[in-house]
Structures are given as C-alpha cells and as structure tokens.
Amino acid sequence: MKALGAQQSQNSANVLFEIGNERWGMHRPHPDIGLKVPYLKQIREFLEDCSLEPEEGLDNGNG
C-alpha cells in the first residue's frame, strides 16, 4: 500500500489506509495467519475505488 502512496495510521488492533479521499481500515491480522480472502477482496475494491487497476497480464481474480 505504501508503494501506491497510501498514508497509513494504526493502533494496537487496527490499521487504516488512505489514498486521496478514499479510506479503508481493517483489524490487524495475526502474523502467523496472514490475510484471509475476504480482506484481499476488500483491498482490491479499495484500490479500484482509488482508480487503481491491476496491470494487464496479472491475474484479475476471475478465474
């Protein structure tokens, strides 16, 4: 997210990302578990809302 210019703020349990006027937050995942699929889908939607689209040739998650 930082590489895309997102500003990040956090507390002990949550993290918030901002790009332009768009904001998205999540509960910080446990380091041993990593990100679950629902979070990945939310991140993709957040980036699309920020007008950031995946590069051509990358898997778009549609199969």
- The domains of the chain are located at 2-49
Is residue 57's pLDDT more than 60?
no
Q: Is the pLDDT of residue 56 over 70?
A: no
| Residue 63 predicted with pLDDT over 50 | no
The model carries a pTM of: 0.71
Taking 60 as the threshold, does the pLDDT of residue 39 lie above it? yes
What is the residue-averaged pLDDT of the chain?
A: 83
Residue 25 to residues 8, 58, 63, Cα–Cα distance (Å)? 9, 25, 27
Residue 61 has a pLDDT of 56
